[in-house]
Amino acid sequence: MQLSIIIPVYKVEKYIRDTLQSIYRQQYDENLFEVIVINDGTPDDSMRIVAEFTNKHANLHIINQKNQGLSCARNAGLKIAQGEYVWFVDSDDTVTEESIGKVIECIERSKADVIGFSILKVSEANRVSEVESAIWNEHCRFSSNQIVCDKSILFSLHTGAAVRYVYRRAFLQMNHLRFYPGILYEDQEFLPRVLSLANSFYISSFISYRYLLRSSGSIMSQFSLRSLRDTLTIVRSYETWLQEEIKGKSALINAYINGCIFNHTYWLLSFKAVTFRDEQKEFMRDHYAEIRRKCLTAGWKSLKGNFRLTRAVRLLMVFLIPHHLIK
């Protein structure tokens, strides 16, 4: 068993058939991969659609649980996975043609801790699509299709979507790497921890995944009280990670995690340009001093390990300019 594909399911009856069809229409040897569907207490007909596939494919397994959120569903799938590598696939997305074969080919070729692929972002509203590489930095000195053991690649890897990577399961287990339960932006909390501990990377230019950009709500939904709280939770998680796991590691890794802390705290400070509701204003009043302190401290530490002009300018803005004018 080389690959476990883990798919949480919750209120996706509109999408789940396309997700599973994209996997099984490839007619790849089903002895080499398994599909684990986690029914996260979905109240709609999603699981009836899944059941149609279980009757035809012996490598499809179902976990049923009460609704606990995406992180817990992924963790439940990871707990029973048997594949040498795991791939987290969202139930409103699809994998591309021949992607399973290509993923397994990259597994056999590299045996890296983390293998990254390009993804195709597709707008649900107008079907406009855009290819996004796992490497965001166009000046990155690492080319695709090579094994990389140099930690400086961290500063060129995307961390927004866990689905763009596949992970060596033994590596995740050995380092007790799981998704943080009950928060928004769980991928942004998970990926920096994973990437900072990985000893080897393999980045392929192959487009393995279609990532659906679903129609979003109002702009204020991005600045909800929960989004503010969860972002600060992620920052605190990074700090714990630094103290307990990264202490004594290389200056590059410290700079990388501090850079993540800076990005999130700067994002929080920039919210002052938005007209908040009273509960959001109260949250920012209560936590502003902590957020600003963390932003300045982490920004300075990140620059010492990996200088970036854009970050230096932003850090200076935080230091000199009133916080409500930062954005």
Residue 131: give its domain's CATH number: 3.90.550.10
In a domain, 219, yes or no: no
pLDDT of residue 204: 95
Q: Can you list the alpha helix ranges (DSSP code H) found in the chain? A: 16-24, 46-54, 70-80, 99-110, 169-174, 186-197, 225-241, 251-270, 278-305, 309-320
pLDDT of residue 244: 83
Per-residue pLDDT tens for 201-255?
Answer: 999 999 999 999 876 544 445 668 899 999 999 999 999 988 887 776 788 899 9
- pLDDT score of 324 more than 80: no
Last residue of a domain, one of 188, 213, 238: 213
Q: Compute the average pLDDT of residues 18-39.
A: 96
User: 267 lies in which domain range?
Assistant: 225-320
Phi/psi of residue 129, nearest 5 degrees: -125, 160
Q: Is the same domain home to 200 and 268?
A: no
- pLDDT score of 305 more than 70: yes
In a domain, 30, yes or no: yes
Q: Is the same domain home to 233 and 178?
A: no
Enumerate residues 6+ apart whose C-beta is below 8 A from 58: 30
Q: Is the same domain home to 87 and 200?
A: yes
Enumerate residues 6+ apart whose C-beta is below 8 A from 270: 326, 327
Burial class (CB in 10 A: 0-12, 13-18, 19+), 185: middle
Last residue of a domain, one of 158, 178, 213: 213
Per-residue pLDDT tens for 144-174?
Answer: 888 999 999 999 999 989 999 999 999 999 9
pLDDT of residue 119: 96
Q: Is the same domain home to 162 and 311?
A: no
Q: Is the same domain home to 196 and 272?
A: no
d(C-alpha 69, C-alpha 76), whole Å: 11
For residue 162, the SS3 value is: helix
Q: Compute the average pLDDT of residues 288-317.
A: 90
In a domain, 172, yes or no: yes
In a domain, 220, yes or no: no
Token pair for residue 257? 């995690």
Enumerate residues 6+ apart whose C-beta is below 8 A from 14: 92
Token pair for residue 246? 């990264």
Q: Is the same domain home to 209 and 242?
A: no
Count other C-beta atoms under 10 Å from residue 233's C-beta: 17
Q: How confident is the model at residue 326 (pLDDT cuts 50, 70, 90)?
A: low
In a domain, 155, yes or no: yes
Q: How confident is the model at residue 304 (pLDDT cuts 50, 70, 90)?
A: confident
Q: Is the same domain home to 203 and 242?
A: no
Q: In residues, how long is the chain? A: 327
Per-residue pLDDT tens for 81-135?
Answer: 999 999 999 999 999 999 999 999 999 999 999 999 999 999 888 888 899 999 9
Q: Is the same domain home to 88 and 189?
A: yes
Angle between helical axes of 46-54 and 16-24 (0-180°, round to 10): 20
Q: Is the same domain home to 125 and 269?
A: no
Domain count, the chain: 2
Enumerate residues 6+ apart whose C-beta is below 8 A from 99: 26, 117, 206, 208, 209
pLDDT of residue 145: 87
Q: Compute the average pLDDT of residues 307-326.
A: 80
Token pair for residue 166? 């596949």
- pLDDT score of 60 more than 90: yes
Q: Is the same domain home to 164 and 289?
A: no
Q: Is the same domain home to 168 and 26?
A: yes
For residue 319, the SS3 value is: helix
In a domain, 327, yes or no: no
Q: Compute the average pLDDT of residues 287-292.
A: 92
Q: Which residue, among 65, 53, 62, 52, has the nearest Cα to 6 in the 3D structure?
A: 62
- The predicted model scores a pTM of 0.93
Better pLDDT: 142 or 181: 181
Q: Is the same domain home to 162 and 273?
A: no
